[in-house]
Amino acid sequence: MNEYESNKATKILQMPIEIEGMTIQPESLPLFSTSAFSADSMEEMKAIYQNSGYAYIRFRSPNREILENYISVIERTEKSLCLASGMAAITSTIFSNITAGDKIICSYHVYGETLEFFEYLENNYHVAIEFIDLTNYDAVVASITENTKLIYAETIGNPTMIVPDFVKLSKLAKQNNILLIVDNTFATGIASTPSEYGADIVINSLTKFINGHSDSIGGSVSGNKYLIDNIKKVSSFIGTPLDPYNSWTISKHILSLDLRMNKQMENAKMLALFLKNHKKVKTVNYPLFSKLPVESMRCIFPSDKYGAMLSFEIDEDLKKIERFMKALVNIRYAPTLGGIRTTMAHPVTSSHGNVPDEKRRMMGITPGLIRISVGAEDIDALINEFEQAFKIL
């Protein structure tokens, strides 16, 4: 662990559990399983509302606020907001920052449902959406118009692991008064901190690596106070704040994030190198193999670690792929990622199943593509499992 990582990990572990109105100091965060806080009089309730105190859980929750403070440390932002899911974080953020007639530039290397949401937005809310390969800088420049308000990307694109040159993109966005929004789910703040290379808003699906145990669902948005307060207002109106129980669960698991991610990232690197040299693998997608300039890679991944996600391509024979995936008996086929155990997914039949084949191929997603979320198992056992499965191909 280097200083970049240890500062965040140590700060979270050393943060006191301070909750407004509570004088005791619990060693472990308690769960406030309540939908509201009562008052003894009309005057007291009036004062609570005037001072934005604890009243109704949709407005303020002790468990949610503790988690929001943790997220701000990880993402190194002024403020964070925790919401009901990753998609709640995405939709609340977008609706808070656009009006009819605006334009959004969106990477087409993103989660399938994110693509569907932007298409829905374009068809129903009079917002122009241009999907583009953000690694093509000249194309991004050419796509900017006077009404362009947002550029949306993922630190590590799902499922092809594409990494745009965010150093150049953030400068371009600021020159044109455009907000840069980055989904940091695949990297987390342990591997990459978008706020430090110019992102205005950072989104996370807390369901994935940050929670890390496949037992809770949540999302977060991080940025400066003005932007987050604006998103919070919209989030409250449409009912997307994160509930107390999931806030509490994720707050417990986030304390081990640094330990888990470092193990999983090291495993991912070793597995990616193994796959890259395997004769039955056509292509391996992993950020380390990116063709970005060295200076940009150092800025985006300052700890020289690249997340715990990868994907690889084998022959487009679905029957063989099915047998191959079944041969990976200890690797679960799951429609999620970021848990402590290794899981796999077949994007063509899951996350990008509703995307037309021609468009998928343009994104680099073929029927032969398999996505792996690398866990914390013994790496030799993991590699051996893949080696045995490849024998059936």
Enumerate residues 6+ apart whose C-beta is below 8 A from 112: 158, 347, 351, 352, 353, 354, 355
Q: In what order do the strands lie in the sheet with 283-285?
A: 283-285, 309-313, 369-373, 343-345, 332-333
E-strand ranges in 245-288 read 283-285
Mean pLDDT of 103-111: 95
Q: How far apart are CA 345 and CA 129, in angstroms?
A: 28
Residues 252 and 328 in one domain: no
Residues 251 and 282 in one domain: no
Query: Residue 20's pLDDT band (boundaries 50, 70, 90)?
Result: confident
Token pair 């937005």: residue: 121
Q: Does residue 243 lie in a domain region?
A: yes
What single-letter DSSP state applies at residue 301? Answer: S
Q: How far apart are CA 270 and CA 268, in angstroms?
A: 5
Residues 39 and 180 in one domain: yes
Contact of 221 with 228, CB cutoff 8 Å: yes
> Pairing state of beta strands 79-83 and 103-107?
unpaired
207, 227, 256: which is the final residue of a domain? Answer: 256
Residues 173 and 212 in one domain: yes
C-alpha distances in Å from residue 24, one per residue of 17, 27, 35: 9, 10, 22
DSSP string of 103-129, one letter each residue: EEEEESSS-HHHHHHHHHHHHHS--EE
207, 229, 256: which is the final residue of a domain? Answer: 256
Residues 248 and 319 in one domain: no
3-class DSSP state of 283: strand
In this structure, of 21-30, 202-211, 331-340, the range with the lowest mean pLDDT score is: 21-30
**Residue 274's CATH number:** 3.90.1150.10
Mean pLDDT of 50-58: 90
Q: How far is CA 356 from the centre of its chain?
A: 24
Nearest CA-CA partner of 222 in 245, 238, 206, 246:
206
3-class DSSP state of 204: strand
Residues 228 and 329 in one domain: no
Q: Does residue 217 lie in a domain region?
A: yes
pLDDT of residue 246: 98
Residues 278 and 224 in one domain: no
256, 271, 291: which is the final residue of a domain? Answer: 256
Q: Does residue 92 lie in a domain region?
A: yes
pTM for the predicted model, two decimal places: 0.95
State the average pLDDT for the chain.
Answer: 95
Residues 263 and 150 in one domain: no
Token pair 């669902």: residue: 217
Contact of 219 with 82, CB cutoff 8 Å: yes
Structurally, the chain folds into a number of domains equal to: 2
In this structure, of 157-161, 197-201, 250-254, 358-362, the range with the lowest mean pLDDT score is: 358-362
Q: How far apart are CA 51 and CA 49, in angstroms?
A: 5
Which structural domain range is residue 106 located in? 8-48+55-256
Contact of 307 with 180, CB cutoff 8 Å: no
Whether the predicted pLDDT of 195 surpasses 90: yes
pLDDT above 90 coverage of the chain, percent: 87
Q: Does residue 2 lie in a domain region?
A: no
Q: Does residue 1 lie in a domain region?
A: no
Q: How far apart are CA 141 and CA 50, in angstroms?
A: 46
pLDDT of residue 256: 97
Residues 252 and 264 in one domain: no
3-class DSSP state of 319: helix
Residues 105 and 235 in one domain: yes
3-class DSSP state of 211: coil
pLDDT of residue 351: 80
Whether the predicted pLDDT of 2 surpasses 70: no
Enumerate residues 6+ apart whose C-beta is below 8 A from 168: 137, 296
C-alpha torsion sign, points 270, 276, 282, 287: positive
Residues 76 and 110 in one domain: yes
Mean pLDDT of 369-381: 98
Q: Does residue 3 lie in a domain region?
A: no
Instruction: Rounding to the nearest 10 degrees, give the CA dihedral for residues 134, 136, 138, 139.
Output: -60
Residue type, 85: S
Residues 266 and 366 in one domain: yes
Q: In what order do the strands lie in the sheet with 201-205?
A: 79-83, 219-223, 201-205, 179-183, 148-154, 103-107, 128-132
**Residue 151's CATH number:** 3.40.640.10
Q: Does residue 314 lie in a domain region?
A: yes
Q: Does residue 134 lie in a domain region?
A: yes
C-alpha distances in Å from residue 365, one per residue of 136, 152, 186, 316, 355: 18, 20, 17, 11, 10
